[in-house]
Amino acid sequence: MRLNDSTDIALRVMIYAATAGERRFTIDRIVEVYAVPRSTVMKVVNALTQGAFLAARRGRGGGLSLARPAAEISVGDIVRHFETDFALVECMRAGNACAITPRCRLIAPLREAKAAFIAVLDRYSVADLAISPADFGLGPFRTPDIANGPRPTDAGR
């Protein structure tokens, strides 16, 4: 089973959000940390916001944060939100044209495997994914202090 790129980035954004806790962060920070295209991050963040995983606040003091506690957001819910076509093979798709579908014995085990995959992800919350800020490899955790200007750790950047 393979997750699409948007799901991968969404999970990485949520790891960052869980690590940030109540601190706000920006799309530019995600781009910096993960070295992914800004346009892609914008699309993913928009979908995370629409799915009520992230909250976005505009203007001075704005930024992104978790929409609810990390422990209440399951990894499975995020994957389901982004994997709208989780068909492993043709016969799992609408418009299936496989000649043996009515007699095929493969579809049941594949459906069972898919359900087991999601069930495992449902056992984990975004809180379980949080890491130490230092694990991002960028030194102390930095978030833009939009309301008060740059902090001393931001000097020279």
For the chain, give the mean pLDDT. 84
Rounded Cα–Cα distance for residues 131 and 133 (Å)? 6
Backbone Cα Rg of the chain? 19
The pLDDT tens digits for 119-130 are 999 999 999 998
- Of the CA atoms within 13 Å of residue 107, those in its CB half-sphere come to 12
Instruction: Tell me the fold of 5-145.
Output: Arc Repressor Mutant, subunit A (1.10.10)
pLDDT tens profile 27-39: 999 999 999 999 9
Picking from 56, 77, 61, 65, the residue whose alpha carbon sits closest to that of residue 121 is 77
**CA-wise closest residue to 78 among 8, 22, 152, 130:** 8
Please check the confidence at residue 156 and state whether its pLDDT lies above 70: no
Helix axes 27-34, 5-20, angle to 10 degrees: 110
φ, ψ of residue 24 to 5 degrees: the values are: -80, 155
Instruction: Determine what percent of the chain is predicted with pLDDT higher than 70.
Output: 85
Check whether 94 has a pLDDT greater than 90.
no
CA–CA separation, 107 and 96 (whole Å): 12
111 pLDDT more than 50: yes
Average pLDDT over residues 71-92: 88
pLDDT tops 60 at residue 157:
no
Coil/strand/helix, residue 91? helix
**CA-CA distance, 24 to 64, in Å (whole number)?**
5
4-8, 29-33, 91-95, 113-117: the lowest-pLDDT one: 91-95
The domains of the chain are located at 5-145
**In degrees to the nearest 10, what's the CA dihedral of 67, 132, 16, 126?**
-50
Helix/strand/coil for 16:
helix
pLDDT score of 9 = 98
- Residue 42: how many other CB atoms lie within 10 Å: 13
Q: Is the pLDDT of residue 23 over 90?
A: no
User: Would the CA dihedral through 75, 121, 131, 40 be positive or negative?
Assistant: negative
Binned at pLDDT 50, 70 and 90, residue 146 comes out as very low
